[in-house]
């Protein structure tokens, strides 16, 4: 019997090593998903070409008038039209390329292999998961908006912590890391929707945001590694392009406003290169980190109420997930259900996650009164109650401490935060 158990144990170890061997790292995924990288680059080049054609037409009009004022006015029109072209191409083509890339990356991270015809696979995966591109656009915007809103609220807490000696630099650096990762977290949440094929898309998107919150410290560590890569890479590409176009303006003795146009075109080229190569590298690295923790994350369901309270976008995303499953939407989310029953407690935990501090709101030295938490206001007197209600009926239960009626599934009282026993 003992030998049989040892045999099973060794077989399990061998299988685990085989699974580890199949796992692809970020560099391998980047090399094997180059078709999407080239597609992004071609989209960027197409934007530049269309922008250049518009510029040529407008400069031709300015040449006919032979007036510097008209030329300057045409440059303003060119910038506006270029912005419109970029929005249309990115909205209707770029988003779909990104979605297909995310689907293939998710497959590579979770299974250890890239589909043979990855472009066709990505296209079909997006079609099967979202049915129409409009659903994908809505989900993408809701996830991105929810993540940003949550971060802004948590940022207010970390800003208040900057009054603590030595914490200003820590919180500022944490905010900078988060600002970098925010651009890719929504893609990770969308990747989770491809991973959870058995769930509805909006439900998986809401779960993805909760997973982001629960693993924010791990994701920030990944963002820290890519911070310098983003900043220095973009600055270097822009500088090289600016030197090239600036040199051409000087050599050809072009008017001064052509120098400004050359600088703008250099920025467009730098953005196209960043969008195709740098963004793909960072996206893959972030998704590898995210998908390494997402499947094993045990979702804390009390976070849904807290995040609904903090973010209207998350509440909308959460309600769409409920509608998909035939449940009524939540118009007024319940109060925070963390121990203590307050949003302040929830945000304090978020500040701890962001800074890694064990007690970010308790400074060693005295601080200004404004930095101290406000004393709890006494509860408004209600109708006299002889004794706290403890009875329950139907789908509701009364709190033993304050007598407030709560849903039977509640873990904590929505009024006083006491545990529902």
Give the integer Cα–Cα distance in Å for 225 and 314.
28
Q: Where are the domains of the chain?
A: 30-293
Give the integer Cα–Cα distance in Å for 44 and 21.
36
Q: Across 3-12, 264-273, 371-380, which has the greatest mean pLDDT?
A: 264-273
Taking Cα atoms as reference points, which of 415, 331, 380, 338 lies closest to residue 405? 415
Q: Per-residue b/e over 281-320, b at no fewer than 16 CB within 10 Å?
A: bbbbbbbbbbbeebeeeeeeebbbbbbbbbbebbbbbbbb
Provide the pLDDT for residue 90.
80
Confidence class of residue 363 from pLDDT cuts 50, 70 and 90?
very low
The residue with greater pLDDT, 229 or 374, is: 229
Of 112-121, 241-250, 354-363, which range is least confident?
A: 354-363
Residue range 210-223: average pLDDT? 81
CB 341 within 8 A of CB 414: yes
Q: In what order do the strands lie in the sheet with 396-398?
A: 392-393, 396-398, 405-407
- Cα–Cα distances (Å) from 286 to 86, 235, 246, in that order, read 25, 21, 36
Give the Cβ contact number of residue 64 at 10 Å. Answer: 9
pLDDT > 90 fraction of the chain, expressed in percent and rounded: 14
Q: Across 39-48, 60-69, 223-232, which has the greatest mean pLDDT?
A: 39-48
CB 126 within 8 A of CB 96: yes
CB 201 within 8 A of CB 209: no
Give Cα 233 to chain centroid, integer Å. 21
Provide the pLDDT for residue 263.
77
CB 182 within 8 A of CB 151: yes
Confidence class of residue 94 from pLDDT cuts 50, 70 and 90?
confident
DSSP string, 134-176: HHHHHHHHHHHHHHHHHHHHHHHHHHHHTTSTTHHHHHHHHHH
The residue with greater pLDDT, 255 or 247, is: 247
DSSP string, 387-403: S----EETTEEE-TTT-
Provide the pLDDT for residue 12.
46
Is 350 a residue whose pLDDT tops 80?
Answer: no
Give the integer Cα–Cα distance in Å for 202 and 318.
7
Give the Cβ contact number of residue 413 at 10 Å. Answer: 24
Provide the pLDDT for residue 353.
53
Tokens representing 348 are 């304090």
Q: What are phi and psi of 405, to 5 degrees?
A: -80, 130
Residue range 18-24: average pLDDT? 56
Is 356 a residue whose pLDDT tops 70?
Answer: no
Confidence class of residue 107 from pLDDT cuts 50, 70 and 90?
very high
Provide the pLDDT for residue 38.
94
The residue with greater pLDDT, 344 or 209, is: 209
Specify the DSSP class assigned to residue 407. E
Q: Quick check: helix, strand or coil at residue 406?
A: strand
Provide the pLDDT for residue 161.
56
Residue range 212-228: average pLDDT? 76
The per-residue pLDDT of the chain, averaged, comes to 75
Q: What confidence tens digit (pLDDT) does each residue in 256-280 have?
A: 666 777 777 788 888 888 888 888 8
User: Which stretches of 23-132 are DSSP H helices?
Assistant: 26-32, 34-65, 68-89, 95-111, 118-130
Q: What confidence tens digit (pLDDT) does each residue in 301-322 have?
A: 778 888 888 888 999 999 998 8
Q: Quick check: helix, strand or coil at residue 1?
A: coil
Q: What confidence tens digit (pLDDT) does each residue in 387-414 have?
A: 344 444 457 777 766 667 777 777 767 6
Provide the pLDDT for residue 232.
78
DSSP string, 249-308: HHHTT--HHHHHHHHHHHHHHHHHHIIIIIHHHHHHHHHHHHHHHTTT----THHHHHHH
Is 44 a residue whose pLDDT tops 80?
Answer: yes
Provide the pLDDT for residue 352.
55
Give the integer Cα–Cα distance in Å for 359 and 106.
36
Tokens representing 172 are 């500022």
Is 128 a residue whose pLDDT tops 90?
Answer: no
Provide the pLDDT for residue 415.
64
Whether the model pTM is above 0.75 = no
Tokens representing 65 are 């008038």
Q: What confidence tens digit (pLDDT) does each residue in 53-75 have?
A: 998 898 888 888 877 677 778 88
Confidence class of residue 371 from pLDDT cuts 50, 70 and 90?
very low
Q: What confidence tens digit (pLDDT) does each residue in 163-194 have?
A: 565 566 666 666 666 666 567 888 888 899 99
Is 346 a residue whose pLDDT tops 50?
Answer: yes
Provide the pLDDT for residue 385.
41
The residue with greater pLDDT, 359 or 122, is: 122
Contacts 24+ apart (CB under 8 A), 373-378: 373/344
Q: Quick check: helix, strand or coil at residue 238?
A: helix
Tokens representing 257 are 């406003």
Specify the DSSP class assigned to residue 223. H
Give the integer Cα–Cα distance in Å for 212 and 176.
17
């Amino acid at each position: 019997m003992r030998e049989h158990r040892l045999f099973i144990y060794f077989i399990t170890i061998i299988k685990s090593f085989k699974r580890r061997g199949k796992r692809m790292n970020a560099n391998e995924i980047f090399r094997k998903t180059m078709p999407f990288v080239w597609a992004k680059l071609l989209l960027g080049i197409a934007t530049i070409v269309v922008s250049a054609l518009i510029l040529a037409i407008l400069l031709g009009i300015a040449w006919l008038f032979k007036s510097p004022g008209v030329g300057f006015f045409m440059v303003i029109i060119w910038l506006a039209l270029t912005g419109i072209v970029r929005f249309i191409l990115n909205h209707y083509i770029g988003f779909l390329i990104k979605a297909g890339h995310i689907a293939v990356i998710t497959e590579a991270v979770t299974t250890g292999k890239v589909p043979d015809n990855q472009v066709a696979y990505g296209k079909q995966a997006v079609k099967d998961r979202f049915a129409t591109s409009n659903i994908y656009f809505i989900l993408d915007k809701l996830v991105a908006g929810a993540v940003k809103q949550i971060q802004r609220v948590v940022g207010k807490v970390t800003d208040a912590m900057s009054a603590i000696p030595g914490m200003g630099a820590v919180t500022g650096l944490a905010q900078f890391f988060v600002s970098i990762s925010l651009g890719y977290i929504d893609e990770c949440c969308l990747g989770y929707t491809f991973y959870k094929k058995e769930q509805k898309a909006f439900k998986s998107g809401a779960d993805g945001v909760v997973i982001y919150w629960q693993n924010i410290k791990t994701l920030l560590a990944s963002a820290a590694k890519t911070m310098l890569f983003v900043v220095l890479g973009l600055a270097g590409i822009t500088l090289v392009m600016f030197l090239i176009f600036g040199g051409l303006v000087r050599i050809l003795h072009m008017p001064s406003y052509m120098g400004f146009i050359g600088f703008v075109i250099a920025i467009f080229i730098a953005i196209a290169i960043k969008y195709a190569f740098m963004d793909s590298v960072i996206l893959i690295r972030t998704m590898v980190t995210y998908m390494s923790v997402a499947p094993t994350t045990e979702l804390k369901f009390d976070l849904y109420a807290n995040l609904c309270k903090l973010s209207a976008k998350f509440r909308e995303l959460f309600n769409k997930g409920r509608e998909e499953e035939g449940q009524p939407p939540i118009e007024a989310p319940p109060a925070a259900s963390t121990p203590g029953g307050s949003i302040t407690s929830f945000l304090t935990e978020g500040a701890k996650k962001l800074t890694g501090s064990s007690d970010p709101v308790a400074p060693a030295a005295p601080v200004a009164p404004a930095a101290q938490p406000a004393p709890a206001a006494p509860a408004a007197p209600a109708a006299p109650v002889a004794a706290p209600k403890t009875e329950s009926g139907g789908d509701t239960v009364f709190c033993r401490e304050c007598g407030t009626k709560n849903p039977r599934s509640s873990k904590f009282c929505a009024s006083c935060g006491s545990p529902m026993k």
